[in-house]
Every structure is written in C-alpha cells, then in structure tokens.
Amino acid sequence: MIGNPVNYDKKFKDCIPTLPIKLDPELKRYLNLISGKEVLDLGIGQGKNSIPLAELGFNVTGVDYSTKCLEICKNNCNKLNLIHSDIRTFNIEQGKYNLIHSRFVLHFFIRMIVMRL
C-alpha cells in the first residue's frame, strides 16, 4: 500500500475546526451530467460536498478512516451512509456508483510516492 492515512482523529483531539458545508462550484457545474443518484465520497471528512449532495436527494456513501470525521458527518446529516474504512483497501462495488469523488485526499498518497522516488 502507498502512503498512510492522515490521522484526523489525533488532529481533531483538542480542536475541531468547523468547515463550511457548501457544494464546490466545480462539482455543482457537473451535477446534471450524473446519470443516477448513487454517490461515493472517498475521504468524506466533515461532508463538505456530500452533505449538500444528500440534501439534494443523492444517495451518498461516505468512507473515512477518521471516526471523529464520521461522527461530525452523522451529527450534521442523517441521510448519509457512513463507512469506517481505509480507502486504500475499500472495495468499490463495480457498477454501483454514478459519481465517485475524493476531494483533498489523494494528494496525501501522491506526496508519499514523490518522497520515495
């Protein structure tokens, strides 16, 4: 496996930053291209994009390694399907999702690859 998950539970131990829960304009622009309602968010964090998507009627599954982030999501929205898992080993069901997004997550792994070159 490449890289390590950032330990957000440790990061949020003493201070939980509140982030704006607002759909990214880039994602909003492409919503009409999504052919169905099933969405997967790899590294959901506090649900910045996924909470608005769930409120818009999408069936959102959010995966995260941080139990603290999942708890924050759960407290802010009861429409999310939340899974505690490392996305590097998470099994993505073939053909299930109409949109898979992962914002500000994959760069953690890319940084690790660069460091190993």
Ligand X SMILES: C[S@@+](CC[C@H](N)C(=O)[O-])C[C@H]1O[C@@H](n2cnc3c(N)ncnc32)[C@H](O)[C@@H]1O
The residues binding ligand X (CB under 6 A) are 5-6, 8, 43-45, 48, 63-66, 69, 86-88, 103-105, 108
Nearest approach, Cβ of residue 110 and ligand X (Å): 12
Which residue lies nearer to ligand X by CB, 6 or 110? Answer: 6
Q: Which amino acid is at 91?
A: N
Nearest approach, Cβ of residue 4 and ligand X (Å): 7
Whether the CB-CB separation of 76 and 50 falls below 8 Å is answered with no
Which residue lies nearer to ligand X by CB, 45 or 52? Answer: 45
Whether the CB-CB separation of 65 and 41 falls below 8 Å is answered with no
* Rounded Cα–Cα distance for residues 102 and 100 (Å): 7
Name the helix (H) or strand (E) containing 63.
strand 59-64
Residues listed for the chain: 117
Nearest approach, Cβ of residue 48 and ligand X (Å): 4
* Rounded Cα–Cα distance for residues 105 and 8 (Å): 12
Q: Give the CB-nearest residue to ligand X.
A: 45
Which residue lies nearer to ligand X by CB, 52 or 64? Answer: 64
Which residue lies nearer to ligand X by CB, 37 or 68? Answer: 68
- SS3 call for 112: helix
Nearest approach, Cβ of residue 112 and ligand X (Å): 11
